[in-house]
């Protein structure tokens, strides 16, 4: 199978480590007809490109879809795709995992994707197609709560990271996780969850928001 991918450099590195037995080509729109599978790992940041994928045929499209819900995008577009499209948790650090967290629009898309990804040696876990999926939702909530704990002066970042690793056997502490995932991704996932559900659990800690905005200003500057 011919596989192409687009995304941030760290996402592409993770994908190539995950599918090390199969070359991953850099996505080139002029060669799109030759691809069997397309990974758009940072689709979350350019959801308007859904229009482009709706017209493709005979391919499997895998979109990084944590901050958006595919059904909502299709409803806005007013049409269903002509080839299978699935969503994927493609946030940094979540790609090169033993189990891919994905969602499908239909049972047919799920069956096709399962077969093709299994042929690449990948195991998948299909979850409901909702903003935040499952793992990103939980991890971002933990990071948000850790920021509240620091803001209240209850513990330092270092103590929280150490306590979570020793006390819960987490592989990383919340602040270590936040740094690797990217605070922008954490903030934007929580914001998307709050806008989708209006659930107070996803309301962003002011300290987290401040640090996100400071990082955004520095990038813009």
Residue that terminates a domain, selected from 126, 145, 174 = 126
Mean pLDDT of all residues in 186-203: 97
Mean pLDDT of all residues in 76-101: 94
Mean pLDDT of all residues in 162-171: 90
Residue 87 lies in domain: 3-126
Angle at 193 between CA 129 and CA 149, to 5 degrees: 135
* Residue 102: both structure tokens together: 């994905």
- Judged against a pLDDT cut of 80, whether residue 219 lies above it is answered with no
The answer to whether position 23 is within a domain reads yes
Residue 115 sits in a domain whose CATH number is 3.40.50.720
Q: What is the pLDDT of residue 168?
A: 86
Q: Say whether both 93 and 163 belong to one domain.
A: no
Containing 50, the helix (H) or strand (E) segment is: helix 50-53
Residue that terminates a domain, selected from 126, 146, 172 = 126
Question: Is residue 100 classed as helix, strand or coil in its secondary structure?
Answer: strand
Q: Is 67 exposed, middle or buried (0-12, 13-18, 19+ CB in 10 A)?
A: buried
HSE-CB of 202 using CA atoms within 13 angstroms: 21
Q: Say whether both 100 and 76 belong to one domain.
A: yes
* Strand-pair partners of 88: 64, 102
The answer to whether position 221 is within a domain reads no
Cβ proximity of 209 and 151 under 8 Å:
no
Q: What is the pLDDT of residue 215?
A: 84
Total number of domains in the chain: 2
> What is the spatial distance between Cα 38 and Cα 24, in angstroms, rounded to a whole number?
10
Residue 146 sits in a domain whose CATH number is 1.10.1040.50
Residue that terminates a domain, selected from 73, 105, 126 = 126
Q: Say whether both 8 and 111 belong to one domain.
A: yes
Q: Say whether both 28 and 77 belong to one domain.
A: yes
- Tell how strand 37-40 and strand 3-6 pair up: parallel
Q: What is the pLDDT of residue 111?
A: 95
- Judged against a pLDDT cut of 70, whether residue 220 lies above it is answered with no
Q: Say whether both 61 and 156 belong to one domain.
A: no
Cβ proximity of 67 and 48 under 8 Å:
no
> What is the spatial distance between Cα 219 and Cα 216, in angstroms, rounded to a whole number?
5
pTM, two decimals, is 0.93
The answer to whether position 220 is within a domain reads no
Q: What is the pLDDT of residue 201?
A: 94
Q: Say whether both 64 and 83 belong to one domain.
A: yes
- Judged against a pLDDT cut of 60, whether residue 149 lies above it is answered with yes
Cβ proximity of 76 and 100 under 8 Å:
no
The answer to whether position 89 is within a domain reads yes
Q: Say whether both 86 and 52 belong to one domain.
A: yes
Ranges of beta strands (E only) in the chain are 3-6, 24-26, 37-40, 60-64, 85-88, 99-104, 123-126
Mean pLDDT of all residues in 149-177: 93
């Amino acid at each position: 199978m011919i596989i192409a991918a687009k995304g941030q450099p760290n996402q592409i590195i993770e994908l190539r480590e995950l599918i090390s037995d199969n070359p991953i080509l850099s996505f080139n729109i002029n060669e799109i007809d030759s691809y069997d599978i397309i990974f758009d790992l940072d689709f979350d940041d350019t959801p308007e490109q859904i229009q482009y994928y709706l017209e493709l045929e005979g391919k499997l499209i895998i979109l990084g879809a944590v901050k958006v819900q595919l059904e909502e995008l299709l409803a806005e577009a007013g049409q269903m795709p002509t080839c299978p499209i699935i969503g994927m948790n493609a946030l940094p650090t979540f790609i090169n995992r033993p189990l891919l967290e994905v969602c499908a629009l239909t049972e047919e898309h799920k069956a096709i994707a399962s077969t093709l990804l299994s042929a690449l040696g990948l195991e998948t876990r299909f979850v409901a197609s909702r903003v935040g999926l499952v793992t990103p939702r939980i991890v971002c909530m933990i990071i948000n709560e850790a920021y509240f704990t620091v803001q209240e002066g209850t513990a330092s970042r270092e103590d929280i990271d150490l306590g979570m690793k020793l006390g819960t056997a987490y592989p990383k502490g919340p602040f270590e996780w936040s740094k690797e995932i990217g605070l922008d991704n954490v903030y934007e996932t929580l914001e998307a969850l709050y806008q989708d559900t209006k659930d107070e659990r996803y309301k962003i800690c002011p300290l987290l928001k401040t640090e996100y905005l400071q990082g955004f200003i520095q990038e813009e500057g």
